[in-house]
Structure 1
Amino acid sequence: MVAVACSSFFPMLFRYQEHAVIVLVVLSLGMCAIERVSPWIKTPLDLPLWLFMIWVLCTVPFATDSAYSFAEWKKFVAQAGVLYWSLLVLDRCRRENLPQQILWALALTGAALAVYSLVDFAGRGGTWRDRYIRANAFRSDYNWLSTYMVMTIPVVGSLIVLGRLAWFRAAQALALALMGGAQLFSYTRGGWLGHAAQGLALAAMVGGRRLALWVLGLLAMAGAGLLVASQAGFQRDTVAASTVDTRLTVWAIGLRQVAMHPVAGIGYGNNSFVKKFPEYSVEAQAQVPEGARIIPAMHNTFLMVALGSGLPALLSFVWIFVALLRRLIPIPWGAAWNDRWSVLAAGIGLAVIGFAVRNLFDYMFMGSLAHIFWLLAAVGLTVTGSSWRSGGSGRQPGSPQDEGTSQAQQPAA
């Protein structure tokens, strides 16, 4: 699980990672068959997740390109396999420190990625004056870097809260500063808005509505300050509305298509839009004057799902996030700070909130990013489970208590 977590920060390893996860799932199912135990771990995500997968599969015959949509559906199913495999491993191992070790692996790899991105950014001549040069992730771009930071910064924050040793907290604080710098110099506004949503949610959990309003005011002041700086010649490209305008244009086209195909959509997958409208492909757009070009994709995961597989798929997809957040961050908010498992779950919940906001502006629910999401979901669901909180997670397999239990459960001769 630690290896899956660390390798998820390197998109070029995704195919190997995907095949490895499939092998691990098969091996785990084989072990469960040998041990005659059920591999199924019940979660609040089961109903919306399976409804989503079944519905998308049912819409494949109506897709513009059925083969492509079916291939994209298989990718999603394989990614969701990370959730159930991780839940099974956590449930069978019963190692109390394993969830925290997985989060440490994410934090350390995220910090290493931040160091690389900052060094590369400085080496390519990046500056604070504007975003013509942006910090990138290793062998990928600023969109991936921004999403990695959105998902890992809250995790690092929860680990700092739980840290007992001063040197450990200092190291985690340094990692947090490096990751914040990488996020800043990625100059990705969708990532910044993801952190803004996380800040508002954290403020609501810690101090209630009043603190949330204060944070909202500070965020508004920061946005106003950025606009003032652009008038002075700094960060003009960052506040430019060109990419916003192109997104609004393509969203309008997508919404019209959703109104025309509200049930089955035009085909699941990010490229279904171009397959439906080849005049918006990259090659076709190259022949269009620069001011009239649009982005050849929805650049919004939720709209892509609605356009691809209809409104029922969108409702199921949103339900997945809602069900997960209700489990990770219970209401009233004060219940999120009862113990260390609640703190870890709250950090994961903030990561989910930021990831959802990030996907409002780009299609980032893919590849190794999806693996990180499902891995975090599995850890969060496990540490908030009743069996884990009851103290059963502290036993190690093969301990005397386990042996006594197994002997007691054996039928009498």
Structure 2
Amino acid sequence: MNLVWQRFTLSSLPIKEYLASSYLHRSLVGLLRSWRQTSVLIQWGETIAAALLSLVYALAPFVSSTLVGLLLVACVGFWLLLTLSDEATLANTTSVTPIHLLVLLYWVIAVVATALSPVKRAALNDLATLTLYLLLFALCARVLRLPRLRSWLIILYLHVSLIVSIYGLRQWFFGATALATWVDPESPLSKTTRVYSYLGNPNLLAGYLLPAVVFSLVAIFAWQSWIKKALALTMLIVNTACLVLTFSRGGWIGLVAAVLTVMALLVYWRSIEMPPFWRTWSLPIVLGGLIGILVLAVLFVEPVRLRVFSIFADRKDSSNNFRRNVWDAVFEMIRDRPIIGIGPGHNSFNKIYPLYQRPRYTALSAYSILLEVAVETGFIGLACFLWLIIVTFNTGLMQVRRLRQLRSVEGFWLIGAIATLLGMLTHGMVDTIWFRPEVNTLWWLMVALIASYWTPLAQNQAQELNSPT
């Protein structure tokens, strides 16, 4: 059974041997290597790539999607230049991981879905956008393998998110005009300020800040000096407060999932140093305490109670009713094209959805990651996407175990990435913000962070790391 799991998660896949025998890899990678040897520009390739990525993650909350798209084009162009000029060394070969292979497979499925789409022109445009995001992952995974650049990008995102959160808190204290109807007008919370900071939408802000909350939490453990730990604690308080004040129910659910995950992994990380009693009971005590705090908040904080209870109001809540009507139409879309879908992207969705929509319930997407993937690429694409998620989590957990044995503080960032992905998935199950560039770029950054820690394993090592602790 363990061998089947290893093969399913590609844990012991001989990627180095496969790439060494791949004609496509040998013919493309290194095509410009003679130019690389004389180019001053490419000798600083990873640093320049990190600078381009820094522009993406520093500007994403503040600028238009068009400008972010142009920056992604620049990143992809530079990744292509780096790849074509690479040396065919062991280091470059091992930078390709099982996660890369499944990302490539998902892209191939999206290409097929585009070719078979009933709205090919719209699907082709969105395939280009999807390609930019997937190649952003490839560039991030390459850059993040260098600890210095990895640390820089994490610190940059945490400081940018702090600026975003501070402005969001300012909106809470001084008021902010609602740019859309984000709360049921018949709800007691209809006059409540929902902060949205620079992102223009409280649900989008919650999705953007969720990684910041998790990473500021793990930074308390990863950063060594007390001044840095104090900064991380400040970031944690400010980011958490701002996320809570978005009153995004999906954001709250994602936050709970992420925090419970990160606490469980932190307890696992520390358990090697614990006496037998705490090794057995620390996890139930920590998780029970967190759940108790949540229950007290629901019981005694009225805005929280009203917002949480609205989750279970079914169609009596206007937001719930809207999603239910969109999902009903989406199920019919999936039923009519279940195998390969309608093609990737919101343009394809906008062309097909009006044929199925309920009156007055227009939508830009399926309001659920899994439903959107099923609509765009069918059950084949959905199966590949779920496979990618499973392999990503499995890779992350194996590397957490390896770094735990080495007592490397780098493991805390890996814990943060795993918890963030789970939280973003949970939020994305009931919202559409996952496909926005401010959030989607962060998603692929987290996947790339996990991929950057991957190390090839011998068969006996794979057996050991996949075995129960």
Q: TM-score range by the shorter chain?
A: 0.7 to 0.9
* Equivalent position of 1:134 in the other structure: 194
Residue of structure 1 aligned with 2:341, choices 250, 265, 275: 265
Q: 2:73 corresponds to which residue?
A: 19
TM-score, normalization by structure 1:
0.79
Q: Distance in 2 between matches of 1:179 and 1:90?
A: 24
What are the within-5 Å matches in structure 2 for residues 330-345 of structure 1? 330=398, 338-345=407-414
- TM-superposed CA distance for 1:31, in Å, is 3.5
Deviation at 1:278, TM superposition (A): 2.4
Q: Does 1:51 align with 2:111?
A: no
User: Any idea what SS the aligned residue of 2:81 has?
Assistant: helix
Secondary structure at 2:245 match in 1: helix
Segments of 5+ residues of structure 2 without an aligned counterpart are 1-49, 179-187, 268-281, 458-469
Give the conservation status (yes or no) of the 8 Å contact 1:45–1:320: yes
Residue matched to 1:297: 365
- Cα RMSD (Å): 3.3
Paired amino acid for 2:426 = V
| Counterpart code for 1:142 | P
1:208 equivalent in structure 2: 283
Select between 252-261 and 98-107 the one with higher mean Cα deviation. 252-261
How much has 1:3 moved relative to structure 2?
Answer: 3.2
Give the AA of the match of 2:158: A
Counterpart residue number, 1:382 = 452
Give the gaps of 5 or more residues in structure 1. 388-413
Aligned counterparts of 1:193 and 1:218: Cα–Cα separation in 2? 14
Whether 1:105 and 2:156 are equivalent positions in the alignment is yes
Q: Which residue of 2 aligns with 1:123?
A: 174
Question: Does the aligned pair in 2 maintain the 1:258–1:310 contact within 8 Å?
Answer: yes
Residues 62 and 213 (structure 1), Cα distance of their counterparts in 2 relative to 1, 3 Å cut: farther
Q: Is the 8 A contact 2:297 2:305 kept in 1?
A: no
Q: Give yes or no for the alignment of 1:329 onto 2:397.
A: yes
8 A Cα contact 2:214 2:259, kept in partner: no
> Counterpart of 1:361 in 2: which secondary structure?
coil
Hey, what does 1:199 align to over in structure 2?
259
> For 1:356-411, what per-residue CA distance to the aligned partner results, in whole angstroms no more than 9, with x for missing partners?
11211222134242222222322332235369xxxxxxxxxxxxxxxxxxxxxxxx
Equivalence for 2:58: 6
- Aligned residue among 354, 357, 380 for 1:312: 380
Task: Indicate yes or no: 2:287 matched with 1:219.
Answer: no
What CA distance in whole angstroms lies between the structure 2 residues aligned with 1:246 and 1:336? 45
State the alpha-carbon separation in 1 of the partners of residues 212 and 160 from structure 2. Answer: 9
What corresponds to 1:408 in structure 2? Answer: none
CA gap 1:140/1:28 in 2 versus in 1, 3 angstroms: farther
Mapping for residues 20-35 of structure 1, pairs under 5 Å: 20-32=74-86, 35=87
- The separation in 2 between residues aligned to 1:120 and 1:384, in whole angstroms, is 42
Tell me the TM-score normalised to structure 2 length.
0.70
Q: How many residues align?
A: 372
Contact 1:197 1:354 in 2 (8 A): yes
- Assess, with a 3 A threshold, how the Cα gap between structure 1 residues 331 and 43 changes in structure 2: closer, same or farther: closer
Contact kept? 1:299, 1:362, Cα under 8 Å: yes
Q: Secondary structure at the match of 2:435?
A: coil
